[in-house]
Chains A and B, each alone.
Chain A
């Protein structure tokens, strides 16, 4: 992998220059709520929150939109396909490794066996530029093996103090560097030492740990554990955890109609397996009628069935669900207690 160096003094110039390619999305800090971050279109490179922690919603919102029109229909004119943002070239800048892993999982779900044209149209026009980070007390990507990325990005910036080391992941990334060659320089011996020191510091900063060895096996044994009922008593099934999850991809499809009684549009909107109507089918049967079954399903889908189906869990350890749960349900605590068989309700 090619690695070059970008001095921090030139990074804002680099960011501005990326607007030549297309829309640049960066993490920003909410002015009225310091310490709370969100991804948004860059107006000015000074808005970039370099030291940001997880954003409320992951960058999936640009690929798998919270709500989108997928086609319009008319009684006489037939239907007309709509793919929102189809032509928009977009750079997702400053993604942490967990979020890049999240997109890698969405890529598999939406593009491998069955191609989702809406996701794919936006994905193929999306450039990913990663950024190194330091964990807080809710990060457990190290446990999920998602703390580093070897692929899934076009460029990846690692903070080594005065400079960023820029790993080039794709030929497009190489072009982005080559077109701005005057901003970059060669990596020197001292930079390598700084990188190794940063890596060591980062590895030692993780405070939250989750043992995922043979977790699917343990979960299979714990299908009838009382823990699921206990969680059902605490969970509000508000779906916040699903909305903020980088890998939750479920959606509902429904029509909205127009007052002319002739036309309408089909909508695709985020859904969650925690919602009561999620597993409701025609005829009125609900496959997951009670709350505890739905909460349990979320854990089993992430840590059990995804492993069966795709070879790895669909949790990237970003900590967003821990942050977002109003009831204080903590995925690491739950799975640790399942393993220990020691769950006691509060």
Chain B
């Protein structure tokens, strides 16, 4: 069997997920031997920007007009398109302030004289193209990435985790940030895979892997409200990664209704 042809791309992002691939130092040679990396601007020269690809790994959210065209072009030349990282899967941090109009935000960040950025509200890849597999994480986890690649190499689709960080946190016998510290922890909302990294360092989960399929925002928010934490604080924490754009407004409504 010939080696699968791979392309690795970044849209609007910090490049952290691509860096994480390069960080797989112990396995990088095995990986490079198993696949044929044709197009990876960040890591190599002599890229073939037109060839057909078996697998495209795409990092970043669609937050500029040019991202849409780039993404569509990648989709067209790829058999399997994988969203890597929470920005690509959910919109991630760039989507956190989608409620602020772009022109105001551009002015605040870059001042008056910016012409080179055509910024737009950040969205995940799936808003524009068919995504075959989602690998969330901010950044992605090495083990999960390698596992995913191994599945593809075996002609299989990787398993999709659909349970929350709490189970991994309990297996590590961490103290519960919610029960013991009354902290706003996004663990119950957030898909597992990180091995409960933050709670294992006694820090509440910020939700960087994005939500599980059947996420229970209102139950979590009401739970914190019962513990005396202000709804605004709950929403602020949950909004960073773990919540889609509609969440804050709907949640606020519910919480206000609840407290009446």
Point out residues on A near B: beta carbons under 8 Å: 30, 32-33, 36, 38, 55-57, 66-67, 233-240, 242-244, 254, 256-261, 264, 270, 272, 275-277, 291, 323-328, 346
Known: A238-B188, A242-B167, A275-B162. 19 other contacts (CB 8 A): A36-B180, A38-B173, A56-B175, A234-B223, A237-B216, A238-B164, A239-B166, A240-B166, A243-B170, A243-B171, A244-B170, A259-B27, A261-B153, A270-B167, A272-B167, A276-B163, A326-B179, A326-B188, A328-B223
A-B contact pairs, 14 of them (CB 8 A): A33-B180, A36-B175, A55-B173, A236-B164, A236-B223, A238-B187, A239-B166, A239-B170, A240-B169, A257-B151, A259-B150, A264-B150, A326-B179, A328-B223
How many pairs of A and B residues are in contact by the CB < 8 Å rule? Answer: 114
Per-position contact with A for B209-244: 1 when CB-CB < 8 Å, else 0?
000111010011011001000000000000000000
Determine chain B's interface SS by DSSP, over half rule: helix
Point out residues on B near A: beta carbons under 8 Å: 27, 30-31, 34, 146-147, 149-151, 153-154, 156, 159, 162-164, 166-167, 169-171, 173-176, 178-180, 185, 187-189, 202, 212-214, 216, 219-220, 222-223, 226
**In the complex, what's the smallest C-beta–C-beta distance from B208 to chain A, in angstroms?**
17
List the B side residues contacting A260 at CB < 8 Å. Answer: 30, 34
* Contact across chains for A239 and B159 when beta carbons are under 8 A apart: no
Which of B170, B176, B178, B219 neighbours the largest number of chain A CB atoms within 10 Å of its CB?
B170
List the A side residues contacting B188 at CB < 8 Å. Answer: 236, 238, 326
* Contact across chains for B178 and A33 when beta carbons are under 8 A apart: no
List the A side residues contacting B153 at CB < 8 Å. Answer: 257, 259, 261
* Contact across chains for A259 and B179 when beta carbons are under 8 A apart: no
CA distance A159 to B159 in the complex (A): 50
Say yes or no: A346-B226 contact (C-beta < 8 A), given A260-B30, A291-B214.
yes
List the B side residues contacting A234 at CB < 8 Å. Answer: 219, 222-223
CA distance A36 to B176 in the complex (A): 11
* Contact across chains for A276 and B34 when beta carbons are under 8 A apart: no
* Contact across chains for B219 and A235 when beta carbons are under 8 A apart: yes
B156 nearest in chain A by CB position: A257
CA distance A30 to B176 in the complex (A): 13
**In the complex, what's the smallest C-beta–C-beta distance from A228 to chain B, in angstroms?**
15
* Contact across chains for A236 and B219 when beta carbons are under 8 A apart: yes
CA distance A277 to B159 in the complex (A): 11
**In the complex, what's the smallest C-beta–C-beta distance from A337 to chain B, in angstroms?**
18
* Contact across chains for B171 and A57 when beta carbons are under 8 A apart: yes
* Contact across chains for A277 and B146 when beta carbons are under 8 A apart: no
* Contact across chains for A324 and B223 when beta carbons are under 8 A apart: no
List the A side residues contacting B31 at CB < 8 Å. Answer: 259
* Contact across chains for A33 and B214 when beta carbons are under 8 A apart: no
List the B side residues contacting A240 at CB < 8 Å. Answer: 166-167, 169-170, 176
